[in-house]
A = this chain, B = another copy of it.
Amino acid sequence: MATILVPDQVSAVEDAEALRKACQGWGTNEKAIISILGHRNAAQRMQIRLAYEQLYQEDLIKRLESELSGDFERAVYRWILDPADRDAVLAHVAIRKTKPADYHVVIEISCTRSPEELLAIRRAYQARYKCSLEEDVAAHTSGDVRKLLVALVSAFRYDGEEINARLADSEADILHNAITKKEFNHEDVIRIVSTRSKTQLMATFNRYRDDHGTSITKNLQLGESGDQFLEALRTTIRCINDPKKYFEKVLRNSIKKFGTDEDGLTRAIVTRAEKDLKDIKELYYQRNSVPLEQVVAKDTSGEYKAFLLTLLGKED
């Protein structure tokens, strides 16, 4: 379930007017910006952008970028974008970050979104960057990691509920054989995790655990730490197997670090606030015995903190 609180009745024109007012004159009224945008869903934010453009012949996003700064600006920018467009931006930043590309973000986007959502992201990517997502991923990675990543971003997985039990059985064995022999990069491993439907893969992973007495993610810890491909494979399987649990860990790691990882924190909160952040918050509490809001409040400050807490469902 989502965390953001959206009022029953909203007017895109009134919101646009209020945002204009918040941006005018000496200083910016960040509180007003948060109290509007932090309580609107994707469709409403899109309407506000359109209304703002019509009223003032100005791009709201550009205006906000010039008014805001730092982590708060980046969070608002990511939040205001249409989800597919936002994911295209996140992927692009991750791919071009530095060498090597931040492939965990690419995996996260390709494996925790639905097949149709991933297609929408690929379309948005092309509209923005005049090339395909897989083209950029392929050009900025290499070796086995490239094989895996290109296959993941190119996949249009079957989204039905059907399970082929015999296939789950045989492919659990293929995975187990490869892992036991430490052939993590075996082409069948890449083929299976990148083409099978998520429902089918869950069945395969369950079968793996039943037949071999241990989960595939546990088994993958057999490899050398620091092996990039192995880490990418582990992230892939975790994203497919239990996306909520995966995001709980993204949040945990982004806060646990010496110096908060604002990119990870913002990304997890912004991309899940309209989806399942409530469930992720619960998992976080179960796992860490402290409410996520409390940790976020302690680790962040100013408008950035106020904005994240609003997205986490705090009443104004």
B158 touches A130 (CB 8 A): yes
Of all chain B residues, the one with the shortest Cβ separation from A164 is B131
A155 touches B154 (CB 8 A): yes
Q: What are the residues of chain B within 8 A of A261 when measuring CB–CB?
A: none
Q: Is A89 an interface residue (CB 8 A)?
A: no
Question: How many residues does chain A have at the interface if contact means C-beta atoms less than 8 Å apart?
Answer: 29
A197 touches B158 (CB 8 A): no
B130 touches A157 (CB 8 A): no
Q: CB < 8 Å: which of B133, B139, B146, B195 contacts A135?
A: B195
Of all chain B residues, the one with the shortest Cβ separation from A195 is B135
Q: Is A182 an interface residue (CB 8 A)?
A: no
Q: What are the residues of chain B within 8 A of A159 when measuring CB–CB?
A: 126
Q: Is A299 an interface residue (CB 8 A)?
A: no
Given the interface pairs A146-B187, A195-B150, the reply to whether A155 lies near B138 with Cβ below 8 Å is no
Q: CB < 8 Å: which of B122, B147, B158, B195 contacts A126?
A: B158
The list of the 3 closest CB pairs from A to B, nearest first, reads A154-B154, A135-B195, A138-B191
List, sorted by A's number, 26 A–B pairs whose CB atoms are closer than 8 Å: A122-B156, A126-B156, A130-B158, A130-B162, A132-B155, A132-B156, A132-B157, A132-B158, A132-B197, A134-B195, A135-B157, A135-B158, A135-B195, A135-B196, A138-B191, A138-B195, A139-B191, A146-B187, A146-B191, A147-B187, A150-B151, A150-B195, A151-B154, A154-B154, A154-B155, A154-B156
